[in-house]
Amino acid sequence: MSQILNGEREDDLKQSAALLCNGGLLAVPTETVYGLAADASNEDAVRKVFAVKGRPLLDPLIVHVCDLEHAGAIAELSEEATCLAKTFWPGALTMVLPKKPCVPDVVTAGQPTVAVRSPAHPVMRRVLALSGLGLAAPSANPFGYVSPTTAQHVQDSLGERLAFILDGGVCEHGLESTIIDLSHPAEPKLLRPGPIGVEVLEAVLGKSIEVFEKSASDDCAQLAPGMLSKHYSPRTRMQLCAKPHAELEGAKDERIALLYLCKPSADILERVDDMPVYWCTESDALEDAARQLFALMRRLDGQGYDCILAEAAPNEGIGVAINNRLERACAS
Ligand code: TXA
Ligand code: MG
């Protein structure tokens, strides 16, 4: 079991910073998902992050920094990168930039670029400030599994392998950050959709952003090594569909759960009366559904269903990121 530190207690924050400064690992809250943090300049500490997650060393990590100045110490900041950071930091935007020599190869999987983000969560910001470190942190889940959005999720899946978790409550967005590749600033690429929509980034940059589409073979995932098609997956089989209640025929022998984003209409609920039906939020806001989605996927994963039929979001705004995660969870 991990020991859970309280992000509202000054002593626990100091202990957290000291742990990291001494080469230890700590699960930390961010506004997107919980991360598994280590001092980015300490190669041994970073190697432990890969080991605890069971993550291949070819999949590089995001370095979390306090601010733009701190980012400039580890990466080359183009005009475009500076402009996006000034607009969206602190926040859910990660930028892939040319790295400076001080960043160890183990962090970037030997690539000439480094992914950088300045997170907004006040507890994470305190840890960054108290430690003075850049923190390499992937999501705090076993490689390939659903990302954690509470301290308890981290405890559930990494508790046996991790000494400390810093609790900062439920993550505000519940989905991982948007990742933009600005290593060639004239040709920005979206590597992962997230809470900050691509249209919003395009408006600020004043140019269009190419959306990186993974090609058929996962070998081509080298450009964005974590962009493997199967990811964020519960153990239970999942299937993405426009209307889960319309997919039930011919599946009589299976234990099926229906997973909706927002609460389905009374009409639909009546039609699936005898089925286990779940929804992420009582509200009709997709942002609320996004915040709860991973928690619900984890909960359903423990209930012995043969299959989860999951509802796709309208493909706009945060819906793009929701569908991206659901598609990966459904990839077999
Ligand atoms: O919201 C988030 O981004 C969370 C929180 C903890 O900050 N972190 C997170 O990290 O989702 P992770 O490691 O689970 O996902 C980061 C993704 C991976 O797919 C990785 O391959 C990609 O970023 N990445 C990291 N460095 C890269 C680089 N230099 N070039 C291309 N992709 C990179
Ligand atoms: Mg991850």
**CA 178/CA 196 separation, integer angstroms:** 6
**Order of strands across the sheet that contains 256-262:** 237-241, 307-311, 256-262, 277-281
Output the CA 176–ligand 1 centroid distance in Å: 8
**Order of strands across the sheet that contains 35-39:** 3-6, 164-167, 26-28, 35-39, 135-136, 62-64, 113-117, 93-98, 178-181, 189-192, 210-211
Average pLDDT over residues 155-160: 97
pLDDT of 214 higher than 80 = no
Average pLDDT over residues 295-320: 96
Strand pairing of 113-117 and 93-98? antiparallel
Pocket of ligand 1 (CB under 6 A): 30, 32-33, 35, 59-62, 94, 96, 108, 111, 113-115, 117, 137-139, 176-177, 179, 191, 224-227
Span 10-49, pLDDT tens digits: 999 999 999 999 999 999 999 999 999 999 999 999 999 9
Residue 174: its pLDDT value, please? Answer: 98
pLDDT of 252 higher than 80 = no
- The residue that leads in pLDDT, 253 or 202, is 202
pLDDT of 179 higher than 90 = yes
Residue 254: its pLDDT value, please? Answer: 85
State the DSSP code for 254: S
Q: Whose CA is nearest to atom 10 of ligand 1?
A: 138
Residue 207: its pLDDT value, please? Answer: 95
pLDDT above 90 coverage of the chain, percent: 89
Residue 221: its pLDDT value, please? Answer: 43
Residue 229: its pLDDT value, please? Answer: 65
**CA 211/CA 213 separation, integer angstroms:** 6
Output the CA 198–ligand 1 centroid distance in Å: 17
pLDDT of 122 higher than 80 = yes
- Mean pLDDT over all residues of the chain? 94
Average pLDDT over residues 296-314: 96
Atom of ligand 1 nearest to the CA of 32: 1
The confidence band for 216, taking pLDDT boundaries of 50, 70 and 90, is very low
pLDDT of 192 higher than 90 = yes
